[in-house]
Amino acid sequence: MQTDNPFLDGMAKLFTDAAGAANSVRTEIESIARQRMERLVADMNLVHRDEFETVKAMAAKARTENESLAARVASLEALVSTLKKES
Residues recorded for the chain: 87
- Spatial separation of the C-alpha atoms in residues 83 and 81, rounded to whole Å: 5
Predicted TM-score (pTM) of the model is 0.49
Specify the DSSP class assigned to residue 1.
-
Q: Each residue of 21-80: pLDDT tens digit?
A: 888 999 999 999 999 999 998 889 888 899 999 999 999 999 999 999 999 999 999 999
| Of residues 10 and 70, more confidently modeled | 70
SS3 38: helix
For residue 33, what pLDDT is reported?
97
- Domain layout of the chain by residue ranges: 1-45, 47-87
Residues in CB range of 84: below 8 A, 6 or more apart: none
